[in-house]
Amino acid sequence: MKNLLSVSKIIKVYNQKKSPALDEVSFKCKQGETLAIIGSSGSGKTTLLRIIAGLDMPDSGKIILNDKSINDQNTFVSPEERDCSLVFQDYALFPNMTVRQNVSFGKNALNNPKKIQELLELTKIDDLENRFPHEISGGQQQRVALVRALATSPSLLLMDEPLSHLDQELRENVRSELINLFRKTKMTVLFVSHDTEDAMAMADNIVVLNNGKVDQIGTPIEIYSSPVNQYVALLFGKTNLIPLEFMPDCKHHFFDSKSKKEVVSVRPHQLKITNNDSIKKSKSFACKVISIHYKGAYQEAKLEFKKLLLTVHFEMNFEIQVGSSLDITFKES
């Protein structure tokens, strides 16, 4: 598939005395792909989204959308002329308009009532069209905002923290609905989020931002299993940074600036009890149990190995006691 969006060396500086908000950010998004921009607070992800949408101007760099330059040294295409739609974090629905009036507000949306009706039915809000935003739930408001964005038939859908306002139970349901909607409409989607779980579940590829720079680009599996540095490793959940000297056979490792050593990122579920005598002692860790915490679906234990403190997850029915000794080995599955 062709690249629908190409972002090249985008720089944005708000304060000359501080580091750039965006520092030569580059990535591509293929047609039909769902791409997540992930990063901690202050990483630059919202600034990047606003620049792509045309709500802010970069200091330098180039953006090409659907083979058309919308940002470069000599070009700035206004937001309303860009072939993309943005769903704001707070949805930005008009409180004095009904659902039907809200979704029909976008440019040229009224020219295609059949498409609007199909989207209302697809998102299961067709029976709410005469209600006002305050009369429907948060999840329903988000669907209204989505239909309004899609009704203009954009090439690219932009979303700012799409699930941040929803509670956990509703969040999981809406996440599944969004995935199905994107697949059915074959929409190209770029969304920014601080929630790595949303990115892992929804995105085909992920761009990780750190202090305005791209640290890593890859599939959810690649980034979770093979992070390029400590920031990426910890951003995607708990992990153990184990010196390479204890795991010399591991192919993926990186230099840790804190410990000044090459380390391997090992997730808690990847450490297992050594129950095979054929496993060499050099491939296992003789640990002492320091603490145990019950997490509902599993037990989380802190184990001490030499000067390392390891976090390991065990099944609930596994008997383990503080002070006991365990031999632990690394399983990549």
Spell out the long-range contacts of 227-232 with Cβ–Cβ below 8 A and sequence spacing 24 or more.
227/254, 227/265, 228/254, 229/254, 229/255, 229/256, 229/257, 230/254, 230/256, 230/257, 230/258, 230/263, 232/208
Sorting pLDDT into bands at 50, 70 and 90, what band is 277?
low
Predicted pLDDT at 282: 47
Looking at the structure, do residues 114 and 206 belong to the same domain, yes or no?
yes
* Rounded CA separation 314/292 (Å): 10
Distance of CA 322 to the CA centre of its chain: 36
Sorting pLDDT into bands at 50, 70 and 90, what band is 333?
low
* Rounded CA separation 315/294 (Å): 10
Candidate from 138-142, 207-211, 268-272 with smallest mean pLDDT? 138-142
Looking at the structure, do residues 102 and 190 belong to the same domain, yes or no?
yes
Q: Higher-confidence residue: 4 or 162?
A: 4
pLDDT above 90: percentage of residues in the chain: 58
Segment 82-99 shows an average pLDDT of 90
Sorting pLDDT into bands at 50, 70 and 90, what band is 276?
low
Sorting pLDDT into bands at 50, 70 and 90, what band is 189?
very high
Which of 176, 197, 222 is a domain's end point? 222
Kindly report the average pLDDT of the chain as a whole number.
89
**Residue spans of beta strands (DSSP E) within 161-283:** 188-193, 205-210, 213-218, 240-243, 254-256, 261-266, 271-273
Segment 105-112 shows an average pLDDT of 70
pLDDT above 70: percentage of residues in the chain: 95
Please count the other Cβ atoms lying within 10 Å of the Cβ belonging to residue 208: 27
* Rounded CA separation 78/1 (Å): 27
Total of domains in the chain: 2
Segment 314-323 shows an average pLDDT of 90
Q: What's the CATH code of the domain at 273? A: 2.40.50.140
pLDDT (tens digit, 9 = 90+) per residue, 226-249? 999 999 999 999 999 999 999 888
Looking at the structure, do residues 45 and 182 belong to the same domain, yes or no?
yes
Q: Higher-confidence residue: 331 or 136?
A: 136
* Rounded CA separation 247/240 (Å): 12
Looking at the structure, do residues 117 and 181 belong to the same domain, yes or no?
yes
DSSP string for 89-131: TT----TTS-HHHHHT-STTGGG-HHHHHHHHHHTT-GGGTTS
pLDDT (tens digit, 9 = 90+) per residue, 39-73? 998 899 999 999 999 999 999 999 999 999 999 98
What's the pTM?
Answer: 0.89
Tokens of 326: 């365990």
Looking at the structure, do residues 59 and 99 belong to the same domain, yes or no?
yes
Sorting pLDDT into bands at 50, 70 and 90, what band is 104?
confident
Looking at the structure, do residues 112 and 11 belong to the same domain, yes or no?
yes
For residues 281 and 311, the answer to whether their CB atoms sit within 8 Å is no
For residues 109 and 80, the answer to whether their CB atoms sit within 8 Å is no
DSSP string for 6-46: EEEEEEE-S-TTS--SEEEEEEEEETT-EEEEE--TTSSHH
Sorting pLDDT into bands at 50, 70 and 90, what band is 121?
confident
Cα angle at 324 between 323 and 327, to 5 degrees? 130
**Is residue 273, in this structure, part of any structural domain at all?**
yes
Q: What SS3 state is found at 57?
A: coil
* Rounded CA separation 84/63 (Å): 13
Which of 222, 255, 270 is a domain's end point? 222
Tokens of 159: 């979303």
Element (H, E) at 1: none
Q: Which residue carries 């769902």 as its tokens?
A: 34
Looking at the structure, do residues 244 and 216 belong to the same domain, yes or no?
no
Looking at the structure, do residues 218 and 305 belong to the same domain, yes or no?
no
Range of the domain at 89: 3-222
Question: Which residues is 188 bridged to in the sheet?
Answer: 156
* Rounded CA separation 228/218 (Å): 11
Predicted pLDDT at 17: 63
